[in-house]
Amino acid sequence: MMNRTNTVLAVLLVVVVVMTAGVGVDYSKPNIEILPDMKYTPAWEAFAANPNFADGRTMQPPVPGTIARGQLPLYYTATKEDAVRAGEELVNPVSRSAIEAAVDADVAEPAASAVGSLDMKPEASELSASPGTSKETIVSERFAASLERGSKVYVTYCISCHGPKGAGDGLVPQRGFPPPPSMLTGKSLQMKDGQLFHILTYGQGSMAPFASQLSRDLRWDVINYVRDLQSKAPPVPETAPVETEAPSTPLTDEPASQVKAEVTATPKMPVPEPEPNAPSQPTEETKATDDKATATTETEESKTPPNELRDASADDAAKTEAPQPEVPAVTPEPTTESEG
């Protein structure tokens, strides 16, 4: 039986060799192909004209309503009103409270969140699958992992402007650029996580949007890190009250009319009347000054030519002849001394 089988196989081998030897080989021509269209499909360049579409273009826009894999759309615009609305509507899926709710619901991650990723993170699935792990441990580990990722994002994208502690004292403001507002005081403490997420997504003021650099999960992680910086910042000192002197008269609950009557009845101190203008007695300094002025006048007159003296004398005479206005004499009132 074996010999017969071997004989048949040997005959078949000889036939195949003979047939192969009789086939000519031409390497300049392709071999025989049964379905050539499946191998050689027409390739259109991205910006080449294409008669297969109505607009004649090869590259077509996505169909309306198309959603990228792992992402859900955000129905907000880059306006202040939508930023406030995002703060009211969006929920941080990696906050401590959200993680606690996910653990209570026995869900590894809130993957179906409207603002989170649809892909479950490996570390979350590992934590949820580990047996004998308490709820507090799972929540702490997940939140610590989020803070670690957020710190890396902050150092990479935020520290240059906002500074290491979020006070707005980074290297960019130190070089003369307008500093960003501190995230440790003011409106930043009042903003909700959703509003911060809107600012990271669409930008605000001089801050550029980071939607193309950071995934949604990383944006939430850096928000957790900013909240951690705010919790560790020292409290803002309150302004101390200004110290004032105590009033000389203690405040009472008496009626205002009675207080006014007491003030009116208080005797006034007598004010001394001014003395009448008495002729002042010349002092030695005044006499010396008058003597010097007289000597100077005589010296100038001696140096003046005779013609100028005559002209000056004529002017003095004209001034003397001009009528002078009469000044009423002031008679001092006699003072009376009060008898003691």
* Within a domain: 301: no
* Within a domain: 121: yes
pLDDT band at residue 112 using 50, 70 and 90 as cut-offs: very low
- Specify the DSSP class assigned to residue 249: S
Residue at token pair 């949604």 = 216
* Within a domain: 316: no
203-248 pLDDT, tens per residue? 998 899 999 999 999 999 999 999 999 998 887 666 555 555 544 5
- Specify the DSSP class assigned to residue 49: B
* Within a domain: 33: no
161-202 pLDDT, tens per residue? 999 999 999 999 999 899 999 999 888 899 999 999 999 999
Q: Residue 260: count other Cβ atoms within 10 Å of its Cβ.
A: 10
Read off the CATH number of the domain in which 110 is found.
1.10.760.10
75-85 pLDDT, tens per residue? 899 999 999 99
In this structure, are residues 158 and 147 in contact, taking their beta carbons and an 8 Å threshold? no
pLDDT value, residue 262: 52
User: How far is the C-alpha of 47 from the C-alpha of 20, rounded, in Å?
Assistant: 47
Q: Domain total for the chain?
A: 1
8-40 pLDDT, tens per residue? 899 999 999 888 877 777 788 877 788 888 888
Q: Which of 338, 217, 225, 335 is nearest to 278 (CA)?
A: 335
* Within a domain: 239: no
* Within a domain: 123: yes
* Within a domain: 262: no
Residue at token pair 């949820």 = 128
Task: Determine the structural domain holding residue 201 and report its residue range.
Answer: 80-232
| DSSP labels, 183-233 | SSSTHHHH--HHHHHHHHHH-BTTBPP-TTTS-HHHHHHHHHHHHHHHHHS
* Within a domain: 85: yes
